[in-house]
Structure 1
Amino acid sequence: MRMQIILPQLEIHGFYSSFENTPHAHEDQFQITIPIKGTCHFKHEFKDMALPPGEGILLQPRDRHSLHIGDGSGLVILRISHERLYPQEFPIHREPRYRHQFDVNRVSKYVGQWTSGMMALDLADPLVEEELETRIISDLRELIWKGNVPISPQLALSFTDSNPYHQRVLEFMHAHFTEHLNISTLASLAMQSRYHFIRSFKSLTGVTPYQYVLQLRIREAMIRLQQSDETVTDISFNLGFSSTSQFFRSFAKFTGTTPEQYRKRS
């Protein structure tokens, strides 16, 4: 059995039966290989290794490698760009070890959460995809540095103190919620990293940025269904939904009814 999550800056591959690949390298990605069950027979350049469960290895871009696992074994491979593993807000960072001991149960728990997150969310909206990717990358950094990910003083201050830029973010979201928004733009308005912005925004509002935008869109849709002659398709398109099916799912989730039924009752 194989599982994979492919996002713009990150790839996660899970193998839960026999698997083997040929020597290869990744041009611009770090690779973290973590055996979950059984032994992973790993070759890095000209060195052969037998990795037991939890003993991971972190490869630099362009490192040549290959591996194989047998039946009954489990393995997780994560590939991530340099910019995401070492974000700009951490100008000074401690290099992770080449060989790293991971908590297998914790890794499995995270992978389960990431997979369920992919299945539960509507990734047709770029804002959802970006939120999920940011969360996964944050979890990955915590796994690598065991919770000791450095935080710059400026970021720590902006997170612990009341952030005056959040009002600017909210005003921007209210003005542009019908457009395609992204976490990078919103985080820059808040003067925070993407991860800290999502955390502090949820702490402030009780929901993620995407959920907040979705609420604004649904609220406006309810008004238009009551007060205009726009078709449901036009309302969906004009409010920034990627498809009418996404609009129907979101509307039903928030109101318990379909747009047509809501219009008839109004």
Structure 2
Amino acid sequence: MEMTVRTERMELFKGSHRFANQSHNHEQFYQFTIPTQGICHFTMENKPYRLHEGEGLIQHPGTEHYLHLDEASSVIIIKFSKDAFPQENQLHAPPEFSEQMRLNPSDLSRKFKDWTTELMFGGSRELLASQETEIQVLEYLKGALSGSMMLEDGHHRYVSTQVRDIHLEQVLAYMREYYSEAVSIDDLAAIAGQSRYHFMRSFRAYTGITPYQHLLRMRIDDAKHRLRNTSSSIAEISCSLGFSSPSQFHRVFMKMVGMTPGGYRSSR
């Protein structure tokens, strides 16, 4: 069984049940290979590795490799283009060296499900959502390499600050004006005067949520107002608020409000 989800800079892949591939390399991508169940037999530059659950291995661009799985085994592979890494996060090891890392296989499987679900149900068609997911995956991998990001419960810790940040307030003002349009991490980071990776961390520390979650909250607040006070159809409201499809609007509304858009309208 195989599953693949792609964004502009990233590919998420899951293989299982005797999955195997041929020797190959990726000239423009880093690859992170992590078995989440059973054993992955991995060969890299003619050197064999026997990877158990949670034992990750990094392949640098141009590294020749292939793998096969035992029965009832599964593996998650995450690929990132070289330009996805900010300068401060670049992997500086020489090409013949590949880092190994240790991850919690259950936690990674849960996160993989969250990442792919978000991208498959609308996120991949919304630039801010896909960029945000890319950064979340990168931060997760960076933390796995440093061993310092994850808490014992497998969650991130973000500390809200009460100090007013004029640059982030400008970002919030911009989002209030353009929340129904296509917004990118790069646009918001430029307003804040930060790198896209620093911006993601500082925005969440400042607001308690991610930029995309904030965008969705504003869209849903507007949608609630329109459902109660206008005769616009649900499809019209969905399109005018920038959702990729009525089904994505329905899913987000249900998650955030606890009822369908139609149910909310009829409850007035």
Asked whether the two chains share a fold, i.e. TM above 0.5, the reply is: yes
Cα distance, 1:7 vs. partner?
Answer: 2.6
Q: Distance in 2 between matches of 1:73 and 1:264?
A: 49
Contact 1:33-1:57 within 8 A present in 2 as well:
yes
Of the structure 1 ranges 22-31 and 63-72, higher mean CA displacement relative to structure 2 is found in: 63-72
- 1:14 matched residue in structure 2: 14
- 1:33 matched residue in structure 2: 33
TM-score by length of structure 1 reads 0.78
Q: Distance in 2 between matches of 1:246 and 1:91?
A: 33
What secondary structure does 1:102 align onto? Answer: strand
User: Structure 2: which amino acid aligns with 1:118?
Assistant: T
User: Structure 2: which amino acid aligns with 1:192?
Assistant: Q
Alignment of 1:82-161 (within 5 A): 82-84=82-84, 86-88=85-87, 90=88, 94-95=92-93, 98-104=97-103, 106-119=104-117, 122-123=122-123, 124-147=125-148
Cα distance, 1:92 vs. partner?
Answer: 7.7
Change in Cα spacing, 1:248 to 1:33, as seen in structure 2 (3 Å) is closer
Change in Cα spacing, 1:139 to 1:107, as seen in structure 2 (3 Å) is farther
Cα distance, 1:95 vs. partner?
Answer: 2.9
* Higher radius of gyration, 1 or 2: 1
Q: Which of 215, 222, 231 is 2:224 aligned to?
A: 222
Contact 1:40-1:51 within 8 A present in 2 as well:
yes
- 2:170 matched residue in structure 1: 168
Q: Which of 199, 219, 225 is 2:201 aligned to?
A: 199
- 2:234 matched residue in structure 1: 232
Cα distance, 1:175 vs. partner?
Answer: 0.8
User: Structure 2: which amino acid aligns with 1:40?
Assistant: H
What secondary structure does 1:166 align onto? Answer: helix
Cα distance, 1:179 vs. partner?
Answer: 0.5
Q: Distance in 1 between matches of 2:190 and 2:145?
A: 26
Alignment of 1:249-260 (within 5 A): 249-260=251-262
What secondary structure does 2:24 align onto? Answer: coil
Total equivalences in the alignment: 251
Change in Cα spacing, 1:99 to 1:107, as seen in structure 2 (3 Å) is farther
Q: Deviations over 1:25-73 (max 9, x none)?
A: 21311223334532514141xx232334265443332333323333244
User: Structure 2: which amino acid aligns with 1:38?
Assistant: I
User: Structure 1: which amino acid aligns with 2:50?
Assistant: L
Identity over aligned pairs, percent: 31
Q: Distance in 1 between matches of 2:132 and 2:218?
A: 18
- 2:153 matched residue in structure 1: none
Whether 1:48 aligns to 2:47 is: yes
Unaligned runs of 5+ in 1: 149-158
Q: Distance in 2 between matches of 1:56 and 1:218?
A: 39
Contact 1:42-1:68 within 8 A present in 2 as well:
no
Change in Cα spacing, 1:108 to 1:99, as seen in structure 2 (3 Å) is farther
Change in Cα spacing, 1:80 to 1:264, as seen in structure 2 (3 Å) is closer
Alignment of 1:56-95 (within 5 A): 56-84=56-84, 86-88=85-87, 90=88, 94-95=92-93
Q: Distance in 1 between matches of 2:198 and 2:231?
A: 42
What secondary structure does 1:20 align onto? Answer: coil
Contact 2:59-2:98 within 8 A present in 1 as well:
no
